[in-house]
Chains A and B, each alone.
Chain A
Amino acid sequence: MAHAEAHAHDGHDHNHAPAGIGRWLFATNHKDIGTMYLVFALIMFFIGGAMAMVIRLELFKPGLQFVDPGFFNSMTTMHALIMIFGGVMPAWTGLANWMIPLQVGAPDMALPRMNNYSFWILPFAFTLLLLSFFLPGGAPAGGWTLYPPLVLQAGDSFGLTIFAIHMMGISSIMGAINVVVTIMNMRAPGMDLLKMPLFCWTWLITAYLLIATMPVLAGAVTMLLTDHYFGTAFFNPAGGGDPVMFQHIFWFFGHPEVYILILPAFGIVSEIIPTFSRKPLFGYESMVYATGSIAFLSFIVWAHHMFTVGMPLAGQLFFMLSTMLIAVPTGVKVFNWTTTMWRGSISYEPPMLFALAFLFLFTIGGFSGLMLAIAPADFQYHDTYFVVAHFHYVLVPGAVFAIMAGVYYWLPKWTGHMYDLKLATWHFWLSTISVNVLFFPMHFLGLAGMPRRIPDYNVQFADWNMVASIGGFAFGLSQVMFVWIVLKSVRGGGPKASARVWDDTNSEGLEWTVPSPAPFHTFETPPVIK
C-alpha cells in the first residue's frame, strides 16, 4: 500500500477527493479533517446547548418544575464539559486544520495520520461521556471542575467520565503537536514567523499551552481515579492528602485552559478587523508579544479561582496582582483593534459585525474578570451568578462569536459560494441582543447573592431569572439560523465567491491566493513569499 502511495505521489497531482465513507474515516487531508472537526463541534454545540435550555427552563421560575436536582446538576456539569471540550476546542482545531496550512503555504498539516487520529478519538470520547447518563448514578453531577470529595461520590459512571477526559486530552495534545510542527516546519520559503497571519500566531501559542497543561489535567484526573477505585489518599486528609491539592493541580491546567479557549479568537478578530477596515492591523508585533505575555501569565494566576479555600495572605496577594497584570497585554490588544479601525473605511459584513460584538462584549467579560481578581471582593462574588455571567461573557460573545466570525469570514473560501449576507446579519442581531438579555442579568443576580449550580432559588431572584431564560431560548433558537445559512452555502446556494472573497486588498493571508472553493490539495509546490 505504502509503495503504491509513494508512486502515486511521485506521479502527477491528482486533485480529487477519495470517494465513499473511507474519505472521512481514513482521511489524511487537512481540509477534510478540518470539516469533520467543525461539524463535530457544531453537533456538540447543539447537544450542550440543549442542556443549557434544560437549565434555563428549570430556572425560568422559582421552585422545582421539570427536573430533579440531581439531574439538574448533571446538566450543568455536562453542559460545561461538552461546550469546552466538545464545542469550542474542536471548533478551534477545525479552523486551525483548515486555515493554518493555507495561511503558511503548506501542502497539509505536518503529521496527517496523527491529525486523523486526534479527530476520530473525539466522537468516541464523547460517546463514553454521554454513556454515563445510562449507568446507575447517572452522568457526573459534581461540576465540570470535578472537585473531590464530591466528585468521588459519583455513581458507576465515574470511570467513564475520567477516561473520556483522558481521551479528550490525548486528542488535544496530538492536535496541538501537529499545529506546532506545521507552523515551525512547514512554512513556505519567505514566510518568516513575523509575517504569519495572527491566527497562526495565536494558535501556535495556544498549542504550547495545550501541550503544557493537558497532561497536568490527565495527572489530576488519574489521581481522582485511583482515589476512587484503588484507595490512594491524594485528596483524603485521613491519609495525609488534601482536597484543596486537587484544586491547585486542576487550576494549574484550568487557567491556561481558558486562554486556550480565547487566544485563537484573538487571532481571528485580528484578521477580520483589518480586512473590513481596509487598513493593515495596527501594532502587529505588539499583538504577538501580548499573546505571548498572556500565555506566560496564565501559568502563574491559577489560585484566583480558589481564593475562598483558605490560602496564606502572601498567596492571595500574589495571585491577585498577577491576575490583574493580565489586563495589560489584553488592553494592548483591545487598543490595537480599536486603533486599526481608526479612520478605516469600515463596512459591516457579518464577520465584521461578530468581530465588533466580540470587541465590546469580550471587554465586558474582561472587566468583570478584573472585579473577580480582587481577592477581598471575590469572597463576595465567589460561586455566585456573577462568576457565571463573567465566564459566559468571555466564552459566548467571546470565543463562540469569534468562531462564528471566523466561519462567516472563511465559509466562501471553503464552499466557493457567498452565503446569504442578509440572513447572516439577522442571525448576528438576534444572537447579539439575546446573548445580552441572557447573560447581562446574571451580573445582577450574582451581586444580589444568587449561588450558581442550584435548581431552585429565592423568589427575590425570580424576575431576572425569567429575563435570562427568555434571552436563553431566543439565543438558542437563533443558532438554528446559523445552521441553515451554512448548509445553504455548502449546498451551493448563493453567488460564486472570488479567490479574494472580500472587497479588500490588505488581507495578506495566503488563503486568498488560492481559488474558492480551495481545491482538495493546495500548495503542493510551496509558494514563494517576497
Chain B
Amino acid sequence: MANTHAPQGDKYYIPHGSPWPFFGSVTLFTVMLGAVGTMEGAGAGSLILSLGFTMLAVLFIGWFGTVIRENQEGIYNLHVDRSFRMGMMWFIFSEVMFFAAFFGALFYARQLSVPWLAGEGVKGAVEHLVMFQDYAGGWPTNGPEALSPRADGTYEIVPALGLPAINTLILLTSGVTLTVAHHALQAGKRGVLNVFLAITFLLGFVFVGLQAEEYHHAYTELGLQLSTGVYGSTFFMLTGFHGFHVCLGALMLLVVWFRTMKGHLTPERHFAFEAVAWYWHFVDVVWLGLFVFVYWL
C-alpha cells in the first residue's frame, strides 16, 4: 500500500461525520420518486429520475472516492479490512437470496402452477375444469390465454445452443482470466495483471452486448417479451437482473483496473480486487443456473 504513514497498530478506524450516506438517502428517494412518476406517466417523472441517476453517479464517485483515498493513506488496518470482507460476503449472500426468489418463481411455475392449470392433481382438476379446459400445460408456456404480442398467441424461445452457449463460454473464460489476473497481482506481475483484468471486463461488456442483441431479437422477431406469459416473465426478469449485475460487476472491474493502472493495490493488500472478484464469480454462478434452468432444460 502506498502509505503516507504507517497503519496505526490495533486502532480501529472510526470515520468522523460524512455527508455521503445522507446524500445517498436523498438520492435513493429521488430515484424512487422519479421511477414512480415515470411509470405513472406523470410529466416531471422522467426529469426527477434523470436527476436521481445523476445524483447516484455523484454519490458513487464521491463516497467510493473517499474510501479509496483513505485506503491509500493507509488508515485501514487489517482489522478494518476484515470488516470490509465480511460486509461484502454478506452482501453477496443477500444477492443470492434475491435471485433465489426469482428462481423459486420459475420452479414453482414449472413444477406446480402450470401443471395445476393443465389439470394435474386434485387442486388442478378444479382449476382446469372450471377455468381452462383446453389448456395442455407443458414448458415453455405463455399460459391458458396464450399471452403474446403476436395476434395468434405464438412465440418462439431462444435456443440454448446459440448465443446463450457462447455467452456461457465468455463468462467462464472471464472467470479464468480474472483468476490469472489475481495470481499476477499476488506475484507482483503488474503487466500481466493489467492486461488480464482488462480482458476480463471487456469479456463482461461483450457478454452484455450479446445479451442486448438476444433481447432485441426476442422482442422484434420471436414474439418473446416480458408480457409473453409466465415464460416471458421469468425469462426476462431472471436474465435481466443477471445482465444488470454483470454490468455492475464489469463497471467495478473497470474501476479496479483504473486503480491498478495507477499503481494501487499490493500483493498483500488488495481487498477491492478480491471483493470484485467474489462478486464476479457470484454473477458467473448465477449465469450457470440460468443457462441450465432457463435456456437449456
The interface of chain A, by Cβ under 8 A from chain B, is 1-3, 5-6, 8-10, 18, 22-23, 25-28, 106-108, 110-114, 116-117, 120-121, 123-124, 127-128, 156, 159-160, 163-164, 166-167, 170, 173, 176-178, 180-181, 184-186, 211-216, 218-220, 222-223, 226, 229-234, 236-242, 244-245, 248-249, 252, 310-312, 521, 524, 526
- Are B227 and A231 in contact (CB-based, < 8 A)? yes
B95 at interface, CB cutoff 8 A: yes
Q: Is the interface of B mostly helix, strand, loop or mixed?
A: helix
List the one stretch of B139-147, B176-184, B207-215, B277-285 in contact with chain A.
B139-147
A124-B32 Cα distance, complex, nearest whole Å: 10
Residue of B nearest to A3 (CB): B73
Picked from B15, B69, B108, B229, the residue with its CB within 8 Å of the CB of A112 is B15
A391-B33 Cα distance, complex, nearest whole Å: 33
B274 at interface, CB cutoff 8 A: no
- Are B233 and A233 in contact (CB-based, < 8 A)? yes
B117: which A residues are within 8 A, CB to CB?
237, 240, 242
- Are A232 and B73 in contact (CB-based, < 8 A)? no
- Are A173 and B105 in contact (CB-based, < 8 A)? no
- Are B25 and A215 in contact (CB-based, < 8 A)? no
A242-B127 Cα distance, complex, nearest whole Å: 11
Nearest 6 CB-CB pairings of A with B: A219-B101, A231-B227, A240-B143, A242-B113, A26-B17, A159-B36
- Are B113 and A117 in contact (CB-based, < 8 A)? no
- Are A233 and B229 in contact (CB-based, < 8 A)? yes
Q: Using a Cβ–Cβ cut-off of 8 Å, how many residues does chain B contribute to the interface with A?
A: 83
Picked from A215, A229, A236, the residue with its CB within 8 Å of the CB of B97 is A215
Picked from B15, B26, B109, B131, the residue with its CB within 8 Å of the CB of A124 is B26
Which among B28, B109, B131 has the highest number of chain A CB atoms within 10 Å?
A: B28
A459-B202 Cα distance, complex, nearest whole Å: 71
Residue of B nearest to A5 (CB): B16
B291 at interface, CB cutoff 8 A: no
- Are A181 and B90 in contact (CB-based, < 8 A)? yes
A27-B91 Cα distance, complex, nearest whole Å: 23
Residue of B nearest to A2 (CB): B70
A524: which B residues are within 8 A, CB to CB?
11
B145: which A residues are within 8 A, CB to CB?
238-239
B147: which A residues are within 8 A, CB to CB?
231, 233, 238-239
- Are B93 and A233 in contact (CB-based, < 8 A)? no
B220: which A residues are within 8 A, CB to CB?
none
Given the interface contacts A159-B36, A214-B94, does A185 sit within 8 Å of B143 by beta carbon? no
B44 at interface, CB cutoff 8 A: no
- Are A159 and B28 in contact (CB-based, < 8 A)? no
Q: Is the interface of A mostly helix, strand, loop or mixed?
A: helix
- Are B83 and A211 in contact (CB-based, < 8 A)? no
**Can you give 21 A-B contacts (C-beta < 8 A)?**
A6-B70, A26-B17, A26-B22, A112-B14, A113-B15, A117-B21, A117-B24, A128-B33, A159-B35, A167-B32, A170-B28, A180-B86, A219-B105, A223-B105, A229-B39, A233-B230, A237-B113, A238-B143, A240-B113, A241-B229, A524-B11
- Are A218 and B29 in contact (CB-based, < 8 A)? no
Given the interface contacts A9-B75, A121-B25, does A241 sit within 8 Å of B17 by beta carbon? no
- Give residues of chain B (19-68) contacting chain A, Cβ–Cβ below 8 Å: 19-22, 24-26, 28-29, 32-33, 35-36, 39-40, 63, 66
B246 at interface, CB cutoff 8 A: no
Which among A121, A184, A237 has the highest number of chain B CB atoms within 10 Å?
A: A237
- Are A232 and B25 in contact (CB-based, < 8 A)? no
A25-B26 Cα distance, complex, nearest whole Å: 11
The interface of chain B, by Cβ under 8 A from chain A, is 4-5, 8, 10-22, 24-26, 28-29, 32-33, 35-36, 39-40, 63, 66, 69-70, 73, 75, 79, 82-84, 86-87, 90-91, 93-95, 97-102, 104-105, 108-109, 112-114, 116-117, 121-123, 127, 131-132, 141-145, 147, 225-234, 236-237
Picked from A6, A167, A212, A229, the residue with its CB within 8 Å of the CB of B73 is A6
Given the interface contacts A181-B83, A242-B108, A242-B113, does A216 sit within 8 Å of B100 by beta carbon? yes
Given the interface contacts A114-B21, A116-B18, does A211 sit within 8 Å of B66 by beta carbon? no
Given the interface contacts A6-B70, A238-B145, A249-B105, does A213 sit within 8 Å of B39 by beta carbon? no
B100: which A residues are within 8 A, CB to CB?
215-216, 219
Which among B32, B94, B123, B142 has the highest number of chain A CB atoms within 10 Å?
A: B94
Cβ of B113 to closest chain A Cβ, rounded Å:
3
Cβ of A239 to closest chain B Cβ, rounded Å:
4
- Are B22 and A25 in contact (CB-based, < 8 A)? yes
A498-B122 Cα distance, complex, nearest whole Å: 68
Picked from A108, A184, A216, A252, the residue with its CB within 8 Å of the CB of B98 is A216
A230: which B residues are within 8 A, CB to CB?
226-227
Given the interface contacts A159-B40, A237-B144, A240-B143, does A185 sit within 8 Å of B28 by beta carbon? no
- Are A111 and B83 in contact (CB-based, < 8 A)? yes
Picked from A3, A110, A160, A233, the residue with its CB within 8 Å of the CB of B143 is A233
A113-B64 Cα distance, complex, nearest whole Å: 12
B32: which A residues are within 8 A, CB to CB?
128, 160, 163-164, 166-167
A111: which B residues are within 8 A, CB to CB?
83-84, 87
Cβ of B244 to closest chain A Cβ, rounded Å:
12
Which among B4, B5, B227 has the highest number of chain A CB atoms within 10 Å?
A: B227
Which among B10, B12, B17, B90 has the highest number of chain A CB atoms within 10 Å?
A: B17
- Are B25 and A218 in contact (CB-based, < 8 A)? no
Given the interface contacts A181-B83, A233-B230, does A27 sit within 8 Å of B144 by beta carbon? no
- Are A237 and B143 in contact (CB-based, < 8 A)? yes
A26-B19 Cα distance, complex, nearest whole Å: 5
B40: which A residues are within 8 A, CB to CB?
156, 159
Given the interface contacts A25-B22, A226-B237, does A240 sit within 8 Å of B108 by beta carbon? no
- Are B109 and A240 in contact (CB-based, < 8 A)? yes
A112-B15 Cα distance, complex, nearest whole Å: 7
- Are B73 and A110 in contact (CB-based, < 8 A)? no
A323-B81 Cα distance, complex, nearest whole Å: 41
Given the interface contacts A6-B73, A232-B226, does A242 sit within 8 Å of B116 by beta carbon? yes
